[in-house]
Amino acid sequence: MLEQNEILEQARQRNIDDALAEDIGTGDWTANLVPSKPVRAQLLVRQSAVLCGIAWFEETLKRLDPSAKITWHYAEGDLTQADTPVCDIEANSRALLSAERACINFLQTLSWTASITRQHVDAIAGVSPNPQGCAVLDTRKTIPGMRQAQKYAVRVGGGQNQRMALWHGILIKENHIAAAGSVTAAIKAAQGLNSGVTIQVEVETLAQLEEALAAGAVSILMDNFTIAQMREAVEINQGRALLEASGGIDLEQMRAIAATGVDRISLGKLTKDVHAVDFSLRIAA
């Protein structure tokens, strides 16, 4: 086990180390075809998207050219317009060519996560009868090594994070319940750890939900509940615990789920079903 839990800045530096190591390795032969000289370039975005990953882009390039200058036309979290410039770059030709793919890989991946998160957040705006509103959350279904970055992108898109990792909170799922013997036994065991982290329990039926509440649960994840079951769960709960809907939820279901009054909706697709926002870098002739 590790001696400490990784924070975002540490994760970003590791991400950049890994990206440059895997792409450049012992050297970029192709970049050596061009003279080493200052050049100007422009990064374009080919579609509308929520921009995310500026720090990853900048720091990757500056690892190879510390004097590189980048002027951004959009800020982190801005909605870009298709076929518009995202930033102007002044850098060493070889450094820029060597860093280009890693820089764009970060930007295209994180911008996608921020964009799809924003889409789901916007879908439930103003719908929830819950006084606290309804939050959109991610899960731990992330690209290996990129969890901190992807969860950061969810926040940029207006979502919230479920637990960051196993160290960050206790989530009692069906296999934990089966091994412990019951919902009550699993909750009591979790409470007995005095871990100082949040405790959440996953339930699959209304009967399990009632058992969890009776055992003192303060956060309950409802797995694959119907809309009718969610409404009933909200009535049973009476605000005693945070209620979270999860399980194969698509965009078309979001408004109906939020309208039941649940506190949160968690979606694996925000970080699991990864696509790439289309960016293109061009060096000025």
Examine the pLDDT at 82 and tell me if it is beyond 80.
Answer: yes
Tell me, yes or no, if 141 is annotated catalytic. yes
Task: Write out pLDDT tens, residues 93-129.
Answer: 999 999 999 999 999 999 999 999 999 999 999 999 9
Q: What does the pLDDT read at residue 3?
A: 83
Tell me, yes or no, if 101 is annotated catalytic. yes
Report the C-alpha gap between 187 and 199 in whole angstroms.
8
pTM, entire model: 0.96
Is 284 within 8 Å of 40 (Cβ atoms)? yes
Is 244 within 8 Å of 265 (Cβ atoms)? yes
Q: Furthest-apart CA pair in the chain: how many Å?
A: 72
Tell me, yes or no, if 223 is annotated catalytic. yes
Burial of residue 267 (CB within 10 Å: 0-12, 13-18, 19+) is buried
Residues 184 and 113 in one domain: no
Q: Which helix (H) or strand (E) segment is 17 a member of?
A: helix 8-24
Residues 247 and 136 in one domain: yes
Kindly name the residue from 141, 231, 255, 272 that is annotated as catalytic: 141
Mean pLDDT rounded to a whole number for the chain:
97
Closest CA to 264 of 171, 148, 165: 171
Asked if the structure places residue 2 within a domain, the reply is no
Asked if the structure places residue 21 within a domain, the reply is yes
Examine the pLDDT at 2 and tell me if it is beyond 90.
Answer: no
Kindly name the residue from 138, 202, 244, 263 that is annotated as catalytic: 202
Sheet with 219-223, side-by-side order of all strands: 135-137, 264-266, 242-246, 219-223, 198-203, 169-172
Work out the percent of the chain whose per-residue pLDDT is above 90: 98
Average pLDDT for residues 124-147, to the nearest whole number?
97
Residues 145 and 254 in one domain: yes
Domain CATH number, residue 176: 3.20.20.70
Kindly name the residue from 174, 223, 232, 278 that is annotated as catalytic: 223
Can you give the residue range of the structural domain that contains 31? 8-121+274-283
Kindly name the residue from 14, 62, 101, 231 that is annotated as catalytic: 101
Task: Write out pLDDT tens, residues 13-64.
Answer: 999 999 999 999 999 999 999 999 999 999 999 999 999 999 999 999 999 9
Report the C-alpha gap between 149 and 12 in whole angstroms.
7
Report the C-alpha gap between 78 and 58 in whole angstroms.
17
Q: Give the count of domains, the chain.
A: 2
Asked if the structure places residue 1 within a domain, the reply is no
Domain CATH number, residue 278: 3.90.1170.20
Q: What does the pLDDT read at residue 285?
A: 65
Residues 139 and 220 in one domain: yes
Report the C-alpha gap between 284 and 268 in whole angstroms.
40
Kindly name the residue from 9, 17, 173, 240 that is annotated as catalytic: 173
Report the C-alpha gap between 98 and 217 in whole angstroms.
52
Tell me, yes or no, if 173 is annotated catalytic. yes
Task: Write out pLDDT tens, residues 170-215.
Answer: 999 999 999 999 999 999 999 999 999 999 999 999 999 999 999 9
Asked if the structure places residue 26 within a domain, the reply is yes
